């Protein structure tokens, strides 16, 4: 039973001693959420922490193979920094000042790649990817020329009315589901509207009522222009001066509107031949037509 397949590539500076090993492993079983968090935490810690002397345990039976109690205790004592990184605050996307904008984009793309894989997709994975995209957007603001270069290289156009759309296309891929791209862009736009700090988007999403859907709804509501109060035709006609006044034997109540049917008489005169006061629909149409 093959549990994994992989390729290991050794690197040596003197063609004798192996300094580093580059490995690509394709596991045939899905890593659990706890182990996934530890793996991400170890990767984050390795970016800034000095190289540890003890090597990591080898998972011959796959990453979900149960660790013994002794192994767990040893890991807790040996690498507390890495395990701390598994906490949601440490696991959030962070901006690395020493990295270039392209490096931060690569980091965000690698995190977003997990979202594209159906069997590893989870809310935590998506929140982490959006957090990195949010941090990348902040870094792009600080390096507009570098951002323009990345967009030009990827063949993605700037969208003035939706500035976060190019960001999510860079991170998740321009060929990603368009509906999801629109939602993710709305999340980043609302985070910017709410002044969410770098590294704080994941906590923001977790605390927001409705999560991503709630944020998208809030952003769309914020974009909706306030409707101007609509003046009714009757209110508009009430302000108009009378063109003429006639006396009728069966006049309606004062302030009501009726339709008068007139025939052209002598030059400059109209002869009223009928009143239509019992057809409210006709009266409404005439009033709307007169005020349009």
Question: pLDDT, tens digit, for every residue of 40-67?
Answer: 767 766 655 555 554 555 555 555 555 5
Domain shared by 83 and 138, yes or no: no
User: Which tokens sit at 179?
Assistant: 């509906």
In a domain, 230, yes or no: no
The range of the structural domain enclosing residue 270 comes to 242-291
Whose CA is closest to 83, among 121, 34, 47? Answer: 34
Rounded to 10°, the helix 211-223/123-142 angle is: 40
What pLDDT is recorded for position 20? 83
Query: Of 101-110, 159-168, 274-283, which has the strongest mean pLDDT?
Result: 159-168
Domain shared by 110 and 157, yes or no: yes
In a domain, 183, yes or no: yes
Domain shared by 140 and 103, yes or no: yes
In a domain, 231, yes or no: no
Domain shared by 102 and 185, yes or no: yes
Domain shared by 78 and 179, yes or no: no
* Res 82 pLDDT > 80: no
User: Which tokens sit at 3?
Assistant: 């549990």
Tens digit of each residue's pLDDT (9 = 90 or more) over 249-266? 766 777 788 888 888 888
218-231 average pLDDT score: 82
184-208 average pLDDT score: 94
- Specify the number of domains making up the chain: 3
In a domain, 232, yes or no: no
What pLDDT is recorded for position 51? 52
The span from the CA of 43 to the CA of 23, in Å, is 14
Task: Return the higher-pLDDT residue of 228 and 202.
Answer: 202
Burial annotation 152-171 (CB, 10 A radius, 16+ → b, else e)? eeeeeeeeeeebbbbbbbbb
In a domain, 65, yes or no: yes
């Amino acid at each position: 039973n093959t549990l994994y397949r992989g390729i290991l590539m050794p690197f040596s500076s003197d063609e004798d001693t192996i300094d580093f090993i580059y490995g690509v492993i394709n596991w045939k079983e899905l890593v659990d959420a706890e182990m996934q968090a530890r793996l991400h935490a170890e990767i984050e810690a390795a970016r800034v922490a000095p190289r540890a002397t003890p090597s990591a345990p080898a998972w011959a039976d796959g990453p979900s193979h149960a660790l013994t109690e002794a192994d767990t205790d040893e890991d807790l004592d040996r690498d507390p920094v890495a395990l701390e990184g598994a906490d949601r605050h440490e696991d959030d996307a962070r901006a690395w000042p020493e990295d270039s904008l392209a490096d931060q984009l690569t980091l965000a793309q690698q995190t977003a790649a997990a979202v594209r894989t159906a069997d590893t997709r989870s809310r935590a994975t998506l929140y982490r990817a959006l957090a990195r995209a949010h941090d990348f957007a902040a870094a792009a603001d600080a390096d507009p020329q570098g951002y323009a270069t990345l967009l030009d290289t990827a063949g993605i156009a700037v969208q003035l009315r939706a500035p976060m759309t190019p960001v999510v296309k860079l991170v998740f891929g321009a060929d990603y589901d368009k509906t999801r791209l629109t939602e993710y862009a709305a999340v980043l736009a609302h985070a910017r509207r709410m002044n969410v700090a770098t590294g704080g988007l994941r906590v923001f999403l977790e605390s927001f009522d409705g999560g991503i859907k709630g944020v998208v709804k809030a952003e769309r509501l914020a974009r909706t222009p306030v409707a101007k109060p609509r003046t009714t035709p009757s209110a508009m006609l009430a302000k108009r001066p009378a063109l003429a006044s006639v006396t009728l034997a069966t006049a309606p109540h004062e302030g009501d509107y009726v339709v008068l049917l007139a025939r052209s008489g002598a030059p400059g005169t109209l002869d009223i031949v009928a009143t239509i006061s019992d057809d409210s629909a006709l009266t409404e149409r005439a009033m709307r037509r007169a005020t349009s």
